[in-house]
A = this chain, B = another copy of it.
Amino acid sequence: MHRLFEFIELTDHERHTLDRLQGPSFKIGRGQTIRSLGDEVTEAYFLLEGWVLSSVGLAGGDRQIVKIHLPGDMLGSPSLVLRKAAETLTAVTPATLTKVSLKGFGRLFYDAPRLAAAFFMSCQQERVVLMDRITSVGRTRAAQRLAAFLLHLHDRLRVIAPEQDAAFHLPLTQEQIGDTIGLTSVHVNRTFREFDAMGIVHRRGHMIELRDFDALRRLAAVPAREWVRFPDWLPSPN
């Protein structure tokens, strides 16, 4: 179950190529680090189960979480263009992943052009997401950032599980949420309680229920994004 399905329908050949790309699956525990910023880049990963955070550390010790990875994501691909890994990958729940060999990935551009195009599109998609996030963090206040964050996460969960309703499990601490949207944990907490009080969201432990999507969307203020499926500029298979 790969995110690539968002853009193209895979042929048998492409599906097979994708399978051959990956090594055997392995598991890691909650809190474990898969790879740290600055490490040698020897492989990439696919995330099969669990949540993984991708973060960038600053000299001062602060860190920014640049991506919350959900099952189906490819991990570590930004580092393909670097000598040292760009990001630290940490599991926030127990996770199952596979390794992707760099050589295999490189061959893919020859063996499965349409698959390569899907990876390209997936990368552009990440770019758009980052653009929207930088817009949210750079130009809006705490409540708007938190609203955009919750909506975006909910959207992504729905892609993975179409039956997903308004409530979901959020296995992140408020500090991690803060590191994602550029706030301190203290202020994330205050903003959450504000949302509680307004009846916009409801929390019980790490279960979050979005109770007023319109209000959240109005707050978030980011433009809606409609991803293209089966783009007509991409030649059809064969």
Residues of A within 8 A of B (CB): 7, 37-38, 56-60, 62-64, 66-67, 77-78, 80-84, 86-87, 102-103, 105-107, 109-110, 113-114, 116-117, 119-121, 123-128, 130-135, 137-140, 179, 181-182, 218, 221-223, 225-228, 231-235
Contact = CB atoms under 8 A, between A and B. Distances in A.
Contacts of A83: 226-228
B116 A117 contact: yes
12 contacts: A56-B135, A59-B222, A60-B221, A78-B127, A82-B227, A102-B231, A109-B120, A116-B120, A123-B124, A127-B130, A130-B134, A134-B137
A31 B191 CA distance: 39
A59 to B, nearest CB: 4
A145 B37 CA distance: 21
A58 B139 contact: yes
A103 B119 CA distance: 17
Contacts of A107: 235
B139 A63 contact: yes
Contacts of A179: 138-139
Contact of A66 (B58, B105, B120, B135): B135
B135 A221 contact: no
Contacts of A120: 109, 116, 119-120, 123
A182 B106 contact: no
Q: Please list the 5 inter-chain residue pairs (A to B) with the smallest Cβ-Cβ separation, ordered nearest first.
A: A138-B182, A102-B233, A64-B135, A59-B221, A130-B130
